[in-house]
Amino acid sequence: MTRSSFAPPTADLAHVSVDAAGDVSTTPPSRPHAAVHAARDVPVEELAAKILAGDRSTLARAITLVESKKPEHQAKARALVQVLLPTTGRAHRVGITGVPGVGKSTTIDQLGANLTAAGHKVAVLAVDPSSTRTGGSILGDKTRMERLAVDRNAFIRPSPSSGTLGGVAAKTRETMMLCEAAGFDVILVETVGVGQSETTVAGMVDFFLVLMLPGAGDELQGIKKGVLEIADMIAVNKSDGDNAARARMAASEYRAALNIMAAKSSSWTPPVVLISGLANQGLDAMWGEVETHRTKLEATGEFAERRRVQQVAWMWSMLEERVMQALRHDARVAHRLHDLEHGVRDGKVSASIAVDEIAGLLGI
Ligand SMILES: Nc1nc2c(ncn2[C@@H]2O[C@H](COP(=O)(O)OP(=O)(O)OP(=O)(O)O)[C@@H](O)[C@H]2O)c(=O)[nH]1
Ligand SMILES: [Mg+2]
């Protein structure tokens, strides 16, 4: 057993704490950044071997390394991901989105518990670029997944807490790969359904699930059409008790809305299902659809192709980030960027002339 840092299922959550690596334990938190230092001091090969052996405290420390802003930590994290690359890609990656309060955490907790009971190892990650979470609310997040937080076949990691959406997503991707190397065969990535984060998460998973509330009449208006375009399935959550009839109506409205949209794949029509994350209703059937999707798209080669396309898109988005970062720190343009930006803001320099000058300074 290498899972000593996790509380046993009977632990009283009131005593649970979270260390700098975001790992749950029943002992007081360690020094801030101690985990980064620990991972920094361990050679890449040793980190890799421990992760491959399923050592979850090393996994948590390696993720902290991935999330570190220090260039030397980032370089080491990249080296680690590269070493582990052949052992990644094995998990079924599923993104889950929905408006705040739709029941993402509740559903993931129950679905995850069902999956670990069926023999899976489940990692739950999050992408929330707006997050300014402190240790306290990380704990809050974990306790909202009470079952998974104490399930030794589950691993919960909150969103990296700062940076651009692209930056947060890049870290989540690398974290996903580390989790795969550590033997997790289902990765659930939660993102809140606001802004651009859904599109970003859809770009890193095999299946994208959108949770909706009963009462589509009002809700359809507020839904960005874009989210329906990227959905592989819609699940109307909270379809329990008094909500059942409204949930059925909502489901038929979503079916109609999906019907008039161009299909993403000729081998898959996004289904609309009714679930209750709270009451554990419909979750097995819902997961059955996720597996059917995989079987069908594997048969046509679309499954592997989607991943290939994602890998290349990821390379480009990282390259863009890196190039922009280099540009902002480039000594040749540093002294002009400020003035040019102000000139453009004040309407004294046209944007295209400013770009010409910057490009000229860079020799491109
Ligand atoms: N009746 C009912 N209530 C539910 C269901 N799922 C979640 N809830 C309740 O809805 C509220 C919000 O649930 P969360 O799981 O925290 O929702 P979330 O989407 O993760 O919310 P954010 O993380 O804030 O975006 C809680 O009070 C849940 O108990 C469900 O299936 N049925
Ligand atoms: Mg939540």
pLDDT at position 62, please? 96
Mean pLDDT of the chain: 84
CB distance 302 to 310 below 8 Å? no
Instruction: Please tell me whether residues 19 and 149 are part of one structural domain.
Output: no
Position 135, amino acid: G
Could you tell me which of 116, 62, 61 has the C-alpha nearest to residue 84?
A: 62
CB distance 147 to 10 below 8 Å? no
Q: How far is CA 142 from CA 126, 153, 322, in A?
A: 11, 15, 33
237 lines ligand 1 (CB under 6 A): yes
Ligand 1 centre to CA of 315 (Å) is: 35
Instruction: Please tell me whether residues 284 and 347 are part of one structural domain.
Output: no
Among protein residues, the one whose CA lies closest to atom 13 of ligand 1? 103
* Final residue of a structural domain among 255, 279, 299: 299
Ligand 1 centre to CA of 94 (Å) is: 19
Q: How far apart are the C-alpha atoms of 173 and 126, rounded to whole Å?
A: 10
Ligand 2 centre to CA of 49 (Å) is: 33
Q: Which ligand is nearest to the CA of 156?
A: 2
Instruction: Please tell me whether residues 41 and 133 are part of one structural domain.
Output: no
360 lines ligand 1 (CB under 6 A): no
Instruction: Please tell me whether residues 259 and 120 are part of one structural domain.
Output: yes
pLDDT at position 12, please? 32
Instruction: Please tell me whether residues 153 and 215 are part of one structural domain.
Output: yes
Q: How far apart are the C-alpha atoms of 32 and 18, rounded to whole Å?
A: 11
pLDDT at position 55, please? 96
271 lines ligand 1 (CB under 6 A): no
Instruction: Please tell me whether residues 140 and 216 are part of one structural domain.
Output: yes
197 lines ligand 1 (CB under 6 A): no
Position 50, amino acid: K
105 lines ligand 1 (CB under 6 A): yes
Tally the domains of the chain.
3
Q: Which domain holds residue 35?
A: 15-86
Instruction: Please tell me whether residues 323 and 290 are part of one structural domain.
Output: no
Among protein residues, the one whose CA lies closest to atom 1 of ligand 1? 238
pLDDT (tens, 9 = 90+) of the chain, 364 residues, equals 343 343 333 333 333 333 444 444 434 444 445 555 567 788 999 999 999 999 999 999 999 999 998 989 999 999 999 999 999 999 999 999 988 889 999 999 999 999 999 999 999 998 887 655 444 344 445 557 889 999 999 999 988 876 778 778 888 999 999 999 999 999 999 988 666 888 889 999 999 999 999 975 555 555 667 788 899 999 999 999 999 999 999 999 889 888 888 778 889 999 999 999 999 999 999 999 999 999 999 999 999 999 999 999 989 988 988 898 889 889 889 889 999 999 999 999 999 999 999 999 998 8
Q: Which ligand is nearest to the CA of 100?
A: 1
pLDDT at position 128, please? 80
Q: Is residue 253 part of a domain?
A: yes
pLDDT at position 216, please? 57
Kindly provide the residue ranges of all beta strands, DSSP E only, lying in the chain, ordered along the sequence: 17-18, 24-25, 92-98, 122-127, 154-157, 186-192, 207-212, 233-236, 272-274
Ligand 1 centre to CA of 212 (Å) is: 11
Domain holding 94: CATH number?
Answer: 3.40.50.300
Q: Ligand 1 pocket: which of 105, 127, 137, 213 to mutate (most atoms <8 Å of CB)?
A: 105
Ligand 2 centre to CA of 104 (Å) is: 5
Q: Is residue 200 part of a domain?
A: yes
Instruction: Please tell me whether residues 210 and 348 are part of one structural domain.
Output: no
Q: Is residue 21 part of a domain?
A: yes
CB distance 205 to 241 below 8 Å? no
Instruction: Please tell me whether residues 205 and 93 are part of one structural domain.
Output: yes
Instruction: Please tell me whether residues 131 and 202 are part of one structural domain.
Output: yes
Per residue in 41-52, pLDDT tens? 889 999 999 999
Domain holding 337: CATH number?
Answer: 1.10.287
Q: Is residue 354 part of a domain?
A: yes
192 lines ligand 1 (CB under 6 A): yes
User: DSSP label at 260?
Assistant: T
pLDDT at position 197, please? 85
278 lines ligand 1 (CB under 6 A): yes
Q: How far apart are the C-alpha atoms of 84 and 81, rounded to whole Å?
A: 5
Q: Is 25 left (phi over 0), alpha (psi -120 to 50) or beta?
A: beta
Among protein residues, the one whose CA lies closest to atom 17 of ligand 1? 103
pLDDT at position 36, please? 57
102 lines ligand 1 (CB under 6 A): yes
Q: How many whole angstroms from its chain centre is CA 43? A: 27
Among protein residues, the one whose CA lies closest to atom 28 of ligand 1? 103
